[in-house]
Structure formats: C-alpha cells, structure tokens
Structure 1
C-alpha cells in the first residue's frame, strides 16, 4: 500500500472518530439539557392555566399564537404567525346552571363552543323529548317546547365506567347492566328517529319552536367526564350537563317533579377572525432547502384547557426546538416546528401549509408528529414507506435505552388517512410519522373532555418525548442520506377484501363557521 493511501486512510479514520465524538457529545448535551433545565412545567402553566383552551377563532387562540412567537424569540429562534384562513370569532363567557325547584343546587355543566349567548339569566322548566308514535305526533307536540329547556340525551344507567364494574360487580350483574344499557341506547335512538329528525337536526326544530335552550349530556365513559364539542343552535344556548346532574334532572322529569333551572350562559360573537399556524425555524447550513418538521396542533376544544390534546404535543415540539437551538444551533438541514391551527375541525392548518408550501413539502426529510396524549411514545410505524425500516431504526439507535426500550416499531406499516396532522403530509407522499403515545386513559378521560387540564400531564413522559424528538430531529438532520419516498405495496383490507389505497390530499377549510 502506498504511503499516500495510508495517510488518506489514517486521516479518514481520525475524521470519523472526531465526528462520532462530536455526535455523542451533542446527544449527551441534549439529554442533559432536557433533564437538568426542563422548561416544560412553566410552558404548560403559561399555555394551559394562563392562556387556557385554544378554540379556533377565539381571542385565546390568538393569544396563544402571539405567546409562542415571543417564547421562541426568547430562545433566539425565528417564528411567525402565518395566516391561512378565517373563522367564526367567538368567546366563551360565564356559564352558570342552577336547579331552583324542587330544591336548590348548582349544577355542573357548560355551554358548548359557539353557543349563542344570553343577555340575562332565564328560569324555566326542564322537559325531555317524548316517546311518540311518529313525526306527525312530534310535530303536534313541538309547541310544548316553547319557553322550556329541552333534554335531548339519553340518561345513562350508570356513571361508573366499565372497568369499575368489571373489578367489583358479579359477572351476572355486569352483564345485566350492559344488556340494559344497550336496550336503553336502542330505545332512545328509536325515540329520536320517530320524531323525523336526527340528533343534530332536532335542535333546529326545538329552536324554531321557541325552546329556551337545549340540554345534552355526552358522557365519556369515565367518572365525572363529558365530551365538550360545538353547538348547532343559532339563537338559543346549548348546554352540556354532567352525567350525574343530567341523570337527576331526567329522573325528576320522568317522575313528574317539573324541575326548573336558572341558566346564565354568556358569550360574544366576534365576527370574522383570521386564523394562523405558528411556524418556527432553525435554518440549515449544508442542506438548507431540506426540512425536518416537528409537528403538533396548537388548537383545542374548550371543555377543559386542552392539556393533553394537544398542549403536551406542542410542549414536546417547543422544548425540542429550544434544546436543539442551544445544543445544535447549526443543523445541516432546516428544522421547522409547525404549530397548526384548527386541527380539531379537520386538520385545516396543516392541510393549508401543505397546499401553500410545496417547496418545503417536496423536500421534507421527515415529519415527527405527536398528538395522542401525555404518555411516553410507545409506537412508531413506517406509514407505508418501503425503506422507512432503514432510517427510523438508525435514528432511534441514538436515543437513550431507557426511552427507546418502550418503543415498538413496525415496517412498512400503512399510511394514516386522518386522525392528526401527519396525515396531511402523508397524503402528498411526504415521509411523516406519528410518535404514538401510551394511553393513560386518554379517550375516556381527557380527549375532548371537561377534564383535559394541567393536572393530567405526566411530565416525566413528556420530558422523555422531548428528548426523543430532539434526538430524532438531530439524527434526521445529520443523516447523509435523503429519505426515500418509495411506497410499499399496500395490503388487502381483511374487512372489505379490497387493496388499501394511499390516502389522497384533501383541501383545507379556509373559511369556517361563517355560513
């Protein structure tokens, strides 16, 4: 071997050793910063306690966007609020619901999002949808709704979740309860169907008949937890009342006690309001026109404060960006944090970004999205990309064992058609991956509920997710290879017997709630 060749090999070995040492130091510094200087609790406090829920079109959502830009500026990260559409502006005010007869007690409940407000408190009798023969009979009954609060939901036979029954009830008692609940559910569905309306359109009929308000109860199958979504009324308030109090009112109506409630439900209509994505950027140095996107939706429903849906995902991405800027300020590829608006109404912010920025989308190295609660990440799939098995495990190999040991991977997987913002990128063939989290009773207790609040955040898990995300972003940035977009042949759906097709792009709704 020639001397010159030996020298080249020597210096190449030295270069690789130095590069490996630098890589290890950056990863160690990321982990140390996350563990010793975490900003997660303060960020969570400011975002959930001070700003509160982030319903699209509300002042709170706008406040959140402005807060994020200022927070990024404190970390010397460039960020901007990018308008992509407009939405119906609305602001929640005070909701107070009191039973005043046959006894006095304050009830747990709230108006739904975009519910019409009241100028003054109204006291009126509570009635329920009757079980009538057909739509003609219901039409004849409708004048009885005038001036009344009308209950439109079934009374649940139990406020105990099934896991509680399974633990303590006899098997016979548990099966009996489930059978009765199924029968009640079918009977209530039949009651609504016979009116000639469905659960959505019946509120319009009651509103047109002069009802004082609509009362519903959308139980989430957990102790004391209800789902809180949007109102369909235009002139009268729509209220959700907690299962326990709703059941009490229902029994009073059923037994002829003619309960009366006093309701004050204040809100403001704010007209057409701009809606945004907050986009933060750490510019790349060697390949600035290739991108890693840290993705999480910023908006929430407003029954609670949107803590686990999706403040926790947002916190992960913000903390990862803060750490990367401090420990890896000159990435090879550009790293973007996308905090999307109006995910809850159909992935609108991320869909708009995909439509508006083809120059970014066409050059994405990877999208990492987190949006299913506060738990530690336990699953990453290849989302149908044939070669994802080559680079995802390589990136994960740099993650501390105590974090990666909990994560299952599966390749090539199948692409998601919806559910969260990574689907917006998948639909145009960009390599986007869900950092899927441990459940922590998410769907029963915090997903879109009145209990999705700061105290449900598990900060140890969120901190692990921030470390994971920062290291994945670092590894994706440093990877000498551009990720392949080659798609796998998707399998046959066993339910339908047809081959699964790649999801197609859907347009963002850029004008919402204003029709």
Structure 2
C-alpha cells in the first residue's frame, strides 16, 4: 500500500504499532496536503490485516485498500482545501489496535479532524451501505451530517444505497470515542462471509468497487470545501 500511494506523489509514513509480547504491526499513512485549510483533516481509512492467516480477505479489507489507492491517484491531482489522510490501519482484527495507537499519537489531528470515513467489508455487494449505528464493543453512531452527505452523493450519482446497522464498529471506534465525526461504509448484501476462506478476489464485483469509490470521493470533495 505504501508503495502504491508513493507512486502518486503522496507523502507516506509507516508508524510501528506495538501489539505486546514482541509482536507489532504498522499503520500506513498517506498525506495529501490541503491548500487553504491544511490544518483541518479528513481521514479515509481501511485496515491492512485479515482475520486469520488462511483468509485472503478480498472484501475484508483488500478491496478497500484498492479503492483508497485509486482515490489517492485522483486527489493527488486535485486541489483540496483540507488535508486528506489515507490510512491503512494495522491490527483492526485485534479490536482496532492500529487506530487506537493513531488516536493516542496524534491528538492535534484528532482535535482538527472534520471526518473519519472507514471502508470495511466492501467490494462484493449490490448496495453502498453506510452504517448508521453499531453496538460492539460499545455503541458508535454515524455522524448525521456525514450520513446525509453520503446519501446526497449517492443520489447525485444515482448509486444504489442501503443504510444499515451493524454490531461491529471497526476502526471508527476510537475516533468516535474522541469526538471525531465518523461513518463506516460497507457493501450489502455480503455475497461471501468476510472471515471465510472463500473470500477471494474472484468474488469481487467491479460495479460495487466503482460505486463506493465514486460516492466516497464526491463526499470527500464536499467535505473539503466546507468551512470547519
């Protein structure tokens, strides 16, 4: 992921995340500097790990990383008022260790973050599915303004959208707990269980990946043009 983001001119850093017992992972962070409001941030997130060593994780979360790279390619040649951070978090499957570490290390970014959009379990559905609320490990609610922007973008693009609820908050969790506006976006229905060994690249649907990418990039551009 780092190599692909660098290919499009992003400033990329890898931050080591301690998992304990001598184990570690990394957060991969690509930065597109804002023009007029560079100290305000929009984060587009995915995660770089899979549930088990035997699981490829095509929808959980390789497709999301592919969407991020394509969005990086487009935004790298676009003036965005706010700084865009494209992040692949490590340790999501370990109760969000990478995003927890990022939130602790970057309090200034967290204070000035206008939105965190998290892509998880995408690429093999029929609907773009923003998640309005989750319950595990604790309740997380999508920011109403972000949810409305996602809906507006989908309507303008004539993209099928289904608002869902979900038990599992993914990397939105620690951002939400630190008062950052968040939204989790998935695909629905699941055509293959995300944690299954059957979750392989041949299950991915181009139209679903394309639709999610378009909706997300339109939403990011709208957010970037908003005043803090």
Q: For this structure pair, what is the TM-score category when the shorter chain's length is used for normalisation?
A: 0.7 to 0.9
- Superposed, which structure 2 residues align to 1:121-140 within 5 Å? none
Q: RMSD between aligned alpha carbons?
A: 2.4
C-alpha distance in 2, partners of 1:337/1:360? 13
SS in structure 2 opposite 1:469? helix
Q: In structure 2, which of residues 87, 90, 103 is the aligned counterpart of residue 338 of structure 1? A: 87
TM-score of the two chains, using structure 1 as the length reference: 0.40
Q: In structure 1, which of residues 430, 439, 461 is the aligned counterpart of residue 208 of structure 2? A: 461
TM-score of the two chains, using structure 2 as the length reference: 0.85
SS in structure 2 opposite 1:378? strand
C-alpha distance in 2, partners of 1:75/1:282? 10
C-alpha distance in 1, partners of 2:196/2:147? 34
SS in structure 1 opposite 2:158? helix
C-alpha distance in 2, partners of 1:325/1:310? 23
C-alpha distance in 1, partners of 2:182/2:109? 13
Aligned residues: 218
Q: Which residue pairs with 1:402 in the alignment?
A: 158
Listed one character per residue, the Cα deviations across residues 198-233 of structure 1 (whole Å, up to 9, x for unaligned) are xxxxxxxxxxxxxxxxxxxxxxxxxxxxxxxxxxxx
> Are 1:378 and 2:115 an aligned pair?
no
- Superposed, which structure 2 residues align to 1:69-84 within 5 Å? 69-84=2-17
- Structure 1 residue 82, shift from structure 2 partner: 0.8
- Structure 1 residue 313, shift from structure 2 partner: 1.8
Q: In structure 2, which of residues 32, 48, 55 is the aligned counterpart of residue 304 of structure 1? A: 55
C-alpha distance in 1, partners of 2:66/2:46? 9
- Structure 1 residue 446, shift from structure 2 partner: 3.2
Task: Find the structure with the greater CA-based Rg.
Answer: 1
C-alpha distance in 2, partners of 1:398/1:449? 32
C-alpha distance in 1, partners of 2:6/2:73? 10
CA contact (8 A) 1:417 1:427 kept: no
With a CA cutoff of 8 Å and minimum separation of 6, indicate the structure with the bigger relative contact order: 2
C-alpha distance in 1, partners of 2:187/2:170? 13
C-alpha distance in 2, partners of 1:380/1:474? 20
- Superposed, which structure 2 residues align to 1:346-425 within 5 Å? 346-374=95-123, 375=125, 376-381=127-132, 384=141, 388-389=144-145, 392-394=147-149, 396-399=151-154, 400-403=156-159, 406-409=160-163, 418-425=168-175
- Structure 1 residue 436, shift from structure 2 partner: 2.9
> Are 1:433 and 2:197 an aligned pair?
no
Residues 401 and 69 from structure 1, CA distance in 2 versus in 1: closer, same or farther, beyond 3 angstroms? closer
Higher-strand-fraction structure: 2
Listed one character per residue, the Cα deviations across residues 343-388 of structure 1 (whole Å, up to 9, x for unaligned) are 11111000111111111111111111111242241334376477x2
CA contact (8 A) 1:87 1:275 kept: no
CA contact (8 A) 1:366 1:430 kept: yes
C-alpha distance in 2, partners of 1:394/1:311? 25
C-alpha distance in 1, partners of 2:205/2:65? 14
C-alpha distance in 2, partners of 1:398/1:86? 38
C-alpha distance in 1, partners of 2:7/2:20? 30
Residues 385 and 447 from structure 1, CA distance in 2 versus in 1: closer, same or farther, beyond 3 angstroms? closer
- Superposed, which structure 2 residues align to 1:56-95 within 5 Å? 68-86=1-19
- Superposed, which structure 2 residues align to 1:27-46 within 5 Å? none
Structure 2, unaligned runs of 5 or more: 134-139
SS in structure 2 opposite 1:344? helix
